[in-house]
Structure 1
Amino acid sequence: MTPRRKKRLAIILAILIGVAGTVGLTMYALNQNMNLFYTPSELVNGKPDGTMPHVGERLRIGGMVVEGSVKRDPDSLKVSFDLKDIGPTVTVTYEGILPDLFREGQGIVAQGTLVDERTIEAFEVLAKHDENYMPSEIEDAMNKGHNADYDYETHTMKNQE
């Protein structure tokens, strides 16, 4: 092999290694910043495809705030509340100012880290904007296992006689 070919081969190999390293680091960064959406039932029982979140994973969870479950610390901005869809409840802890629209019986989405099997430490809480609006992921999850005869847009039972 001539010195010219060796030099070309070395340059091509260096470029390929650089591109592979860049792609690998990009994939790693994207994987670290991915927030998967779960409902309380999916968090406890797993998604239909069998995936379960692990402790320390960042995720988003959506559901309805359980009536009477909001507990506020009088000395700080710490608050904890339970979320429920159709199955088990999950506890969310949050330190900060909650949105103005946050209340019991309200649909919310929280972003945070899974602390244990049924506890999320949230760093952001979002309340729904409108009385008739429900995030599509929550509505779909509730329609699957919940009473499919309930119309979430009109808040009435379908096919009533």
Structure 2
Amino acid sequence: KVTLQSQKEYPPDMQSKDKFLIQSTRVAASTDMDEIPPDTFNKEADKVIEEMKLKVVYTLPSGSSDDSGVTSSANRSFKQGGDDLSMLKNASIEEIQTIQRLKDERDNNLQQNQQMQRELDMLRRRRSRKGDAGFSLTFAAFAGIIGLLVGLLMSLIFSSPPATA
């Protein structure tokens, strides 16, 4: 388990792009951890070096409901030499694959949602531009009524007085 220092700002979707590369190889049983030579992980023909990439996953500390800390769990043990199949500390490979698939689906859905939102905004802008172009029917009717009233007034003013007998 690796604990990272608390970040000032968490990623908005709580996803990290950080990864770890874990390498393993066989060494002599008498080798001390502090005495491992630097060329131990050099890839040579007679050496078998296994590699595993781990993604960082942010989780809230257990028993806490606030964002006071971020923990990166690398709860993965891996196959070494002739050992048994890879195992996870608290989850099976199927569970991890399911979680990863669901995260990928969620990310894909978020991306589609953002694309649809952009398209909707673009359509709204187009519609508002079309509404501004030309005269509206209300304006044309109002201008027509004013024209009729002006015409009626002019005909009354300039008409000849009625003939008296």
In which range does the TM-score fall when normalised by the shorter chain? under 0.3
Task: Please state which structure has a larger fraction of its residues in helix.
Answer: 2
TM-score by length of 2: 0.24
Larger Rg belongs to: 2
TM-score by length of 1: 0.25
